[in-house]
Amino acid sequence: MPEPGDRVRVRTPKETVEGLLMPTPEYQADILVLKLDSGYNVGIDRKTLSSVELVSSQRDAHAATRPREQKKNLPLITVLHTGGTIASKVDYKTGGVVARFSPEELLGLFPELGDIAQVRSRLVRNMWSEDMRFPHYNLLAEEVAKEARARGVIITHGTDTLHYSAAALAFALENINIPVLLVGAQRSSDRGSSDAGMNLLSAARFIAANTGFHGVAPCMHASRSDDDCWILPPCRTRKMHTSRRDAFRPVNAGPLARVRHGEVTILDRSSHHFSQPGPFRLRPFQDVKVGLLKAHTNMFASEWLAYKGFHGLVVEATGLGQAPVNEIDAETKEHAKIRTALKELLAETVVAFAPQTIYGRLNMDVYQPARELQDLGVLGHLCDMTPETAFIKLAWLLSNEPKRVRELYAKDLRGELRERSEPERFLV
């Protein structure tokens, strides 16, 4: 008899359906559930079944994904595995999708890697990306630093916070002289529409091409189709959609390179990623507390004071760099309290603004309230960093350059700031 995980062909008087047999839902013994190649589940009333035919067993499918022998003449790429959707498969005990691939299983799932490079793979953590903390960035940076002999490193990572990790590693791995590409998947490998394989193989092809690129970058789908992947700037990229395969977009910038049907094209050779790197230094995050607060209407002073005792706070400011600190009538008395709370915060906490509009830059010289905020000590004037990158940068500066935070927050260190805004970069 077929078991959960086996591929079966089910016939009813009305249709023939093929897919993976899922566990019988609790309290619904009369329903047979299949996972279709699209990734979606379908329930079929067992009373309507004409036949259930075994197409292939789960055991046979597992054996087919064993890594083949690697070719010694190809460049060496190290895959550091952290989990996420790119490493997900169906748990046939629960019917859910979980991240439980070992590194060997990951290689077996994408055997095409063997035609591109020699692949060395190891598990660093098996975790969802929302569980990332600063010590995990340090751990990843330390593991990358061990790979000086490799042509490059691929880090498999959950997509939800992949852009945070890309920025964090860009700062921590100062002048790393090999490509370090973060790869995720919006749709798990058991789905026909999965982007896992193309993203991973594109990253490997980019590294193997030996373009002279060095540093950290995400590698993700450029469109909803399977035409090409982008190599994206690590400190100027953001996840802009919950589920689309092309969710990662460059913000106030363009992609660095494209991998299309295996062919690599450099799109921005002026990037510092192609210049001669200086001496490599591993500069990890320390035990700092940094918050991220969104300015909004009807705020209260208590929201700001919740960050008392933090080393830093990034505020997603409205417009060109505004926050509700003006008492203009009886209804805005709370704003005077917010101003007082901000002054209290600034006595011990670095407060920096970033644009919550995402695109564009702050100009805190335009309106009087923002000029007053600057006078109080708020940073961020002319900043065009995304809030996520601002959060990572402030934490890294507080960890490594605490006495120069005010100077360096407004200085471009990893391509996170640009001198001028280019109109054509809006919604790239």
- 174 near 215, Cβ under 8 Å? no
Q: Which of 382, 90, 419 is nearest to 253 (CA)?
A: 419
* Catalytic residue check, 239: yes
Residue range 245-263: average pLDDT? 95
- What domains does the chain contain, in order, with CATH numbers? 7-60 (2.30.30.520), 66-282 (3.40.50.1170), 290-408 (3.40.50.40)
End-to-end CA distance of the chain: 52
State how far the Cα of 119 lies from the Cα of 114, in Å rounded to an integer: 7
Whether residue 92 has pLDDT greater than 60: no
What's residue 291's pLDDT? Answer: 98
Residue 243 burial (CB < 10 Å; 0-12/13-18/19+)? exposed
At 112, the pLDDT band (50, 70, 90 cuts) reads confident
Among candidates 398, 380, 369, which has minimal Cα distance to 316? 380
Give whichever of 24-38, 50-64, 255-269 has the largest mean pLDDT.
255-269
Question: Residue 238 and residue 251: Cα distance in Å, rounded?
Answer: 7
- Tokens matching residue 372: 């007053």
Alpha carbon of residue 296 to chain centroid = 26
Do the Cβ atoms of 298 and 286 come closer than 8 Å?
A: no
Mean pLDDT (the chain, rounded):
90
User: Per-residue pLDDT for 393 more than 90?
Assistant: yes
Q: Is the pLDDT of residue 395 over 90?
A: yes
Task: Give the pLDDT score at 70.
Answer: 78
pLDDT over 70 (residue 99): no
pLDDT of the residue at 66:
54
Please tell me which residue in 239, 318, 384, 389 is annotated as part of the active site: 239
User: pLDDT per residue over 2-46, tens digit each?
Assistant: 888 889 999 999 999 998 888 887 667 899 988 887 667 889 999
Q: Which of 85, 156, 237, 386 is catalytic?
A: 85
Which residues, at least 6 apart from 162, have a Cβ–Cβ distance to it below 8 Å? 84, 129, 182, 184, 218, 239, 248
Q: 47 catalytic, yes or no?
A: no
Q: Evaluate if residue 256 carries a pLDDT over 90.
A: yes
What pLDDT does 123 receive?
87
- 218 closest CA partner among 257, 187, 189, 252: 257
Q: What is the mean pLDDT of residues 40-59?
A: 88
Give the dihedral of Cα atoms 195, 197, 198, 200; nearest 10 deg.
110
The C-alpha atoms of residue 171 and residue 141 are separated, in whole angstroms, by: 10
The single residue of 12, 65, 91, 160 carrying the catalytic annotation is 160
Average pLDDT, stretch 109-122? 85
pLDDT at 400 exceeding the cut of 80: yes
In this predicted structure, the answer to whether residue 422 has a pLDDT above a threshold of 90 is no
Catalytic site includes residue 160: yes
Of the chain, the percentage scoring pLDDT greater than 90 comes to 71
User: Closest by alpha carbon to 180, among 92, 280, 109, 247?
Assistant: 280
Question: Can 265 be counted among the known catalytic residues?
Answer: no
Q: What is the pLDDT of residue 312?
A: 98
At 153-187, the pLDDT tens digits run: 999 999 999 999 999 999 999 999 999 999 999 87
Instruction: With beta carbons less than 8 A apart as the criterion, state whether 85 and 129 touch.
Output: no
- Asked if 332 contacts 323 with a C-beta cutoff of 8 angstroms, the reply is no
Tell me which of 35-49, 227-241, 259-273 is least confident. 35-49
Q: Is the pLDDT of residue 252 over 80?
A: yes
Dump pLDDT digits (tens) for 272-329. 999 999 999 999 999 999 999 999 999 999 999 999 999 999 999 999 999 999 999 9
pLDDT value, residue 374? 97
**pLDDT score of 343:** 97
Q: What is the mean pLDDT of residues 103-124?
A: 79
Q: How far apart are CA 41 and CA 35, in angstroms?
A: 4
pLDDT at 392: 98
Segment 340-362 mean pLDDT: 97
pLDDT at residue 60, rounded to an integer: 59
Helix (H, G, I), strand (E, B) or coil at 47: helix
User: According to the model, what pLDDT value does residue 148 have?
Assistant: 85
Give the integer Cα–Cα distance in Å for 317 and 373: 11
Mean pLDDT of 358-365: 96
pTM: predicted TM-score of the whole model, two decimal places? 0.85
**Phi and psi based region of residue 236 (left: phi greater than 0; alpha: psi -120 to 50; beta: remaining):** alpha
Residues sharing a CB contact under 8 Å with residue 229, sequence separation 6 or more, in sequence order: 198, 199, 202, 203, 219, 220, 221, 222, 258, 259
Strand ranges across the sheet with 290-294: 290-294, 312-317, 350-355
What distance lies between CA 57 and its chain's CA centroid? 34
Asked whether the predicted pLDDT for residue 152 surpasses 70, the reply is: yes
Residue 402 phi/psi, 5° resolution?
Answer: -60, -30
Can you tell me the mean pLDDT for 192-201?
83
**Is the pLDDT reported for residue 334 higher than 90?**
yes
The answer to whether the beta carbons of residues 211 and 196 sit under 8 Å apart is no
Length of the chain: 428
